[in-house]
Amino acid sequence: HDDNVAAPYYQYDPIYMSRADLESSIKMSEPRAMQNAGKIYVKDQHIFITDENKGFHIYNNSNPNAPALIAFLEVPGATDMAIKNNSIYINQAVDLVAVSITNNQVTVHKRIKNTFPSKVSPDGYIHYAGENEIIVDWKKN
């Protein structure tokens, strides 16, 4: 038998944000290329497509034959959203956040801290963050 037991090999390193940076990170920006497509949400004339741990691509779908990418909602650590009336509910890493968008400006109405458990790496490992650090994404090492 082999007595040389290897230490766990992590394929992914966590990307951290401070709590303060996380709480000020939600904003609108220019359209960008999709990196890691996730869930799709349709509301009225808009389509929101999750870009895992980055935010949401926003399309104007007033002409369903030609949806137009119009903006990107930056939300580091986000993987899902729901919309009711004009409020967008987002899981941002460990927080549940309610926002609205008016004239391409984002307003954060409510943030419920530590609603969700810390992110687990794509290969299944749990990494611990410090007191004011939050894991928002992973990078392959």
Tell me, what's the pLDDT at 4? Answer: 60
Q: Is 138 exposed, middle or buried (0-12, 13-18, 19+ CB in 10 A)?
A: buried
- Region 85-110: mean pLDDT is 96
Residue 97: name the closest of 110, 114, 116, 84 by CA. Answer: 110
At 53-89, the pLDDT tens digits run 999 999 999 999 999 999 999 999 999 999 999 999 9
Q: Which residue has the tokens 């611990």?
A: 128
pLDDT class of 127 with cuts at 50, 70, 90 = confident
For the beta carbon of residue 88, count every other beta carbon within 10 angstroms. Answer: 23
